[in-house]
Structure 1
Amino acid sequence: MKGWIIAGIIIALLAIVGVGGYNNLVSLNESVNGKWSQIENQLQRRADLIPNLVNTVKGFAAQEQQVIKSITDARANLAGAQGPAAKAQADAELSSALSRLLVVVENYPNLKSDQTFKALMDELAGTENRIAVARKDYNDAVQGYNTKIRSFPTSLYAGAMGFGAKEYFRAEEGAKTVPEVKF
């Protein structure tokens, strides 16, 4: 009889630990998903600002159609990208196109003093900062989640319960290189 009671207690403890571990994984998974949502939210905010910025620049720099087209194309690629790797690549393309736009802006002093342009650039700069913070928060959440599912004893049951490793948001090759501005 004592053996059954001890076995029952051990099974009950394992069940409690298992449920707690599962709930912890669910919580971490939802945290990663929420952080990813914030990245997408900020990328969308930037994508929404860009048409206004492009239209403002068009008024001053009509002959710079290639730069404007590259921004429009990069924005469309970002909107259609799926997953962290594709979003990171599309984000890098858009950042590159925006840096080329800034080179164009340097050639148009009246544009730099235009209040609409200044306000849009301030909004864009704020959005870039928000994107950087959202990326960091996402990668921190992914790190915590991936560490948990790879740690013992969670690693014994995480895969069986459908919890797989999450992908980090990584910068594209060359993203660390400062763009060169030439006149």
Structure 2
Amino acid sequence: MIAGIVIAVIVAIIVIWFIVAYNGFVKANNNVEESFATMDVYMKKRYDLIPNLVETVKGYAKHESETFAKVTEARNMAQGADSIEGKVQGENMLTGALKSLFAVAEAYPDLKANQNFMDLQKQLQQVEQDIANARKYYNAVVKMFNNKCQMFPSNIVAGMFHYSPKQMFEVESEEERQNVKVDFNA
């Protein structure tokens, strides 16, 4: 009788732990998806700003078509990516292309004084800050999820339900780690 009660209690504890662990994974996975969606909203705002920025710069720097093509191509790649890995790669490519666009803009003093360009630059600075904050949050949530996937005993539940570690949102090269220069008031 006592042995049956002990076994029932042990089984109940295991079942409760299993339910809590599974629900923890569901919650963590939803947090990862929500944080990526938030970051995606800010990246969409940036994608919407880029054509205006390119058109403004084009008016002053007509001979820089290769730079404009690279920015447009990078924007389309980042915007069209359908996976986190594709988004990371596209965003890194876009960051590099924007650096080239800003370097072109530096060569045109009239452009740097243009009110429309200054407004776009200010909006882009804000969006870049929002994206940076969203990336920090996303990476923090992914870290918590990945810890759950890799740490014992929750890794047993992760394996049973095919949860695997998610990719952090990181830059790929040293060149991309440098800040995009968006201060044209210097």
The alignment's TM-score, normalised by the length of structure 1, stands at 0.90
Instruction: State the match for 1:41 in structure 2.
Output: 41
Instruction: State the match for 1:158 in structure 2.
Output: 158
**Native 8 Å contact 1:35 1:134 kept in 2:** yes
- Match of 2:46, SS state, is helix
- Gap change, CA 1:178 and 1:118, over 3 Å in 2: closer
Q: By how many angstroms is 1:48 displaced?
A: 0.7
Residues 92-131 of structure 1 mapped to structure 2, 5 A cutoff: 92-131=92-131
**Native 8 Å contact 1:78 1:91 kept in 2:** yes
Per-residue CA deviation, residues 57-84 of structure 1 (Å, 9 max, x unaligned), is: 1222222222111111111111122323
Aligned residues: 180
- Match of 1:62, SS state, is coil
- Match of 1:172, SS state, is coil
Instruction: State the match for 1:176 in structure 2.
Output: 177
Instruction: State the match for 2:6 in structure 1.
Output: 6
**Native 8 Å contact 1:85 1:170 kept in 2:** no
One-letter amino acid matched to 2:156: L
- Gap change, CA 1:179 and 1:145, over 3 Å in 2: closer
Gaps of 5+ in 1: none
> 2-side partners of 1:156 and 1:53: how far apart?
50
Per-residue CA deviation, residues 76-113 of structure 1 (Å, 9 max, x unaligned), is: 11112232332222112111111111111122111111
> 2-side partners of 1:47 and 1:122: how far apart?
15
Per-residue CA deviation, residues 16-39 of structure 1 (Å, 9 max, x unaligned), is: 111111111111111111111122
Residues 123-142 of structure 1 mapped to structure 2, 5 A cutoff: 123-142=123-142
> 1-side partners of 2:24 and 2:131: how far apart?
27
Q: By how many angstroms is 1:178 displaced?
A: 6.6
> 1-side partners of 2:15 and 2:31: how far apart?
24
Q: CA RMSD in A?
A: 1.8
One-letter amino acid matched to 2:36: W
- Match of 2:149, SS state, is helix
> 1-side partners of 2:170 and 2:178: how far apart?
15
Q: By how many angstroms is 1:168 displaced?
A: 1.3
Q: By how many angstroms is 1:177 displaced?
A: 4.9
The alignment's TM-score, normalised by the length of structure 2, stands at 0.89
Gaps of 5+ in 2: 182-186
- Match of 2:177, SS state, is coil
- Match of 1:130, SS state, is helix
